[in-house]
Homo-oligomer: A and B are copies of this chain.
């Protein structure tokens, strides 16, 4: 019974104002059929009790909007931040709400995701939904940038770079590139994309093999770049745009001309790539399209139009090669 012990309910307000719950409801929701005086009295009582209607009680009877939970690793990474923004935008037309959760610094990401799963109507994750969570429980679960084989555990929106990478290979070949070099981020296993890049560019490398070097995300770039240039590299393929932009800056500080001395290619297609000079050539993914496809897949799952797992729960969004000044 202590003041903060229990949140006030509609009944507390009704008692205090000396009216029925109905009347309180009418007052709180600006509904007609209530005298101004009564309304005032009710609102005062509500204020005095710090009463806030429970969104659960309300949702129960009103059928709230579909809520989509988005789980990402690290929102300070602008790629994920843009994804979150894109998803929110894609949810809006359908009247859906999106709950955004970052689990990168959580002790147990899986637990955090499972907890969120209980609070939403569908779960979308990017690189963070392990095996535990799946469409088993009847809830749509979608993995972004998942592999086709993962459809047994839920929906998958695949980001397919193959065509764009092939196009890039052609582009670099025509440009006379003979010693491309892939720069991956250290930590974690070799990512798919760098591997695919190296494989696709093999045919145009003098040595018949494209080296993959690992670099820190934010430091030590100068030494690596000096070594790379000394090795004769004439095209650098960065893991993502953020790394590419950092490399670009370091190259400029070193007095190296891009693309004159060395070509530079990023990946992701973040806005930042078009704000630097020279503008970044990049393997670009249309993040808004990814978001739209995801929402449409989830919607189909909710309506029963798409299965929760299997081939029918699979969408593909291709990368595009965005040729700009840097390569």
Interface residues of A, Cβ cutoff 8 Å to B? 3-4, 28, 43, 46-47, 50-60, 64-65, 67, 75-76, 78, 80-82, 84-86, 88-89, 92, 97-102, 105-106, 116, 118-121, 136-139, 242, 245-246, 249, 252-253, 271-272, 275-277, 303-304
Given pairs A47-B136, A64-B119, A92-B101, 6 additional interface contacts (CB within 8 A): A54-B60, A81-B85, A88-B101, A97-B101, A99-B99, A99-B100
Tally of this chain's copies: 2
Q: Do A304 and B4 touch (CB < 8 A)?
A: yes
Contact A119 B271 (CB under 8 A): no
Q: Chain B residues with Cβ under 8 A from A59's Cβ?
A: 55-56, 59, 119
Instruction: Specify which chain B residues have a CB less than 8 angstroms from the CB of A245 in the assembled complex.
Output: 275
Cα–Cα distance between A291 and B269 once the two chains are bound (Å): 27
> Which B residues are in CB contact (< 8 Å) with A242?
275
Structural contact, B116 and A88, CB atoms closer than 8 A: no
Structural contact, A102 and B92, CB atoms closer than 8 A: yes
Contacts of A75 in B (CB 8 A): 84-86, 88-89
A54 vs B62: C-alpha distance when bound (angstroms)? 12
Nearest 8 CB-CB pairs, A to B? A75-B85, A56-B59, A56-B60, A81-B85, A52-B138, A88-B100, A249-B277, A81-B81
| Cα of A249 to Cα of B54 in the assembled complex, Å | 51
Q: How far is the CA of A304 from the CA of B89 in the complex (A)?
A: 34
Residues of B with C-beta under 8 A to A100: 84, 88, 98-100
CB-CB under 8 A from A65, the residues of chain B are 119
Closest approach, in angstroms, between the C-beta of A92 and any C-beta of chain B? Answer: 6
A98 surroundings in chain B (CB, below 8 A): 99-101
Docked Cα-Cα span, A89 to B73, in Å, equals: 11
B residues within 8 A CB of A138?
A: 46-47, 50-52
With A56-B59, A59-B56, A100-B84 given, is the CB distance from A277 to B253 under 8 Å?
yes
Contact: A67 with B55, CB < 8 Å? Answer: yes
Return 28 A-B CB contacts under 8 Å, by A number: A3-B304, A28-B137, A52-B137, A57-B60, A58-B118, A60-B60, A65-B119, A75-B84, A75-B86, A78-B78, A81-B82, A81-B85, A84-B84, A84-B100, A92-B101, A92-B102, A92-B105, A92-B106, A97-B101, A97-B116, A97-B119, A98-B99, A99-B99, A100-B100, A242-B275, A245-B275, A252-B277, A272-B272
Cα A80 to Cα B85 with chains together (Å)? 9
Q: How far is the CA of A58 from the CA of B116 in the complex (A)?
A: 13
Residues of B within 8 A of A304 (CB): 3-4, 50
Q: How far is the CB of A91 from chain B (nearest CB, A)?
A: 9
B118 with A55: CB separation less than 8 A: yes
- Which B residues are in CB contact (< 8 Å) with A276? 249, 275-276
Cβ-defined partner of A76 (8 Å) among B43, B55, B85: B85
Q: In the bound complex, do residue B52 and residue A121 qualify as a contact, i.e. CB atoms below 8 Å apart?
A: yes
Residues of B near A84 (CB, < 8 A) are 75, 81, 84-85, 88, 100
Task: Determine the chain B residues whose CB is within 8 A of the CB of A303 once the complex forms.
Answer: 4
Cα-based distance from A303 to B136 in the complex (angstroms): 38
- For A272, list chain B residues within 8 Å (CB): 272, 275
